[in-house]
Amino acid sequence: MKRTALLLITLLALAGCVEYDEEMWLNPDGSGKATLRLVHRSNYENTREIMAKAELPGIHLIESQVSRSGRNVIYKISYRFDSIEAFNNVNDRIGEADFWGKFTLNQTDEGNMLLKRRISLGSQEEEYDSEDILEGIYSRQQTEHPHWNYKLHVPWRIVAANALAENIDYGKKTISWSFDTMQMWNKYEVMSVEMKKGLPWVAFLLGTVVLVLLGMFVNWLIRISRRSHLKDSIKHQEEKQEQQP
């Protein structure tokens, strides 16, 4: 009975989540910034929740706008985060709609960086009972199935990603994902991208300076060698002239 009551609350919350769009820029040190647009069906604007999230350690609010369009409340938020850990600690969600998710960043055996982000919708429990059936019936009766859209700017060269080919821009180092919430019910999705680190610009600059200096040194040795050879030739000619009667 208790789970049924929680289920009804969750379903009402999910019905209110209309749309989610996010664009994020990730830095090499794990910090970054993001802008998001959340459209939520609600009778009131929850600005206090935004300020509460902005006060969390490692989270810095840049700008927030709240507006209304009919029955929908539209939140537009820009923020910075100091680290992936700070981002994960926010763990924002509406009921069981975990569009925020959590990041993991690990190094592969090949030395590449593997970034993953898991999001979910609905119950993630393995048991499937009559109440889970109720969720399924509810989801099929929904006429609106909002999409959750994500765009990520990564700091390193993209090796591979589990996005559609047309949504991967290797030159600009961006990946986009879009999820239909109808297909996500009682499931989770994982966004992943494998990246290869390049040489830092400082190392590249130092390498260039070393090559230039090495080239100058080799050129100097060649010039010294030529001068020495010329002096020996002149001296040899002078000695030859002195020996002539």
Q: How far is CA 147 from CA 20, 118, 144, 150, 153, in A?
A: 7, 16, 10, 10, 20
Q: DSSP letters of 183-210?
A: HHTTEEEEEEEEEE----HHHHHHHHHH
Question: Residue 188, SS3?
Answer: strand
Question: Residue 63, SS3?
Answer: strand
* Average pLDDT for 196-203: 70
Q: How far is CA 207 from CA 80, 131, 218, in A?
A: 33, 64, 16
Q: For 80-126, how does the pLDDT look when each residue is reduced to its tens digit (9 = 90+)?
A: 999 999 999 887 555 567 888 999 999 999 999 999 999 988 765 65
Q: What is d(CA 18, CA 229) in angstroms, rounded to the nearest whole number?
A: 84
**202, 185 in Cβ contact below 8 A?**
no
Q: What is d(CA 55, CA 241) in angstroms, rounded to the nearest whole number?
A: 93
The packing angle between helices 130-141 and 2-16, to 10°, is 20
Angle (nearest 5°) at CA 97 between 95 and 101: 120
The DSSP call for residue 166 is G
The DSSP call for residue 94 is B
* Average pLDDT for 204-217: 77
Q: Looking at this protein, which amino acid is placed at residue 55? A: E
At residue 4, does pLDDT exceed 70?
no
Q: Which helix (H) or strand (E) holds 11?
A: helix 2-16
- Residue 142's CB: how many other CB atoms inside 10 A? 14
At residue 207, does pLDDT exceed 60?
yes
Residues 6+ apart with CB under 8 A from 171: none
| Residues forming beta bridges with residue 188, ordered by sequence position | 120
Q: For 154-166, how does the pLDDT look when each residue is reduced to its tens digit (9 = 90+)?
A: 999 999 999 999 9
19 vs 218 pLDDT, higher one: 19
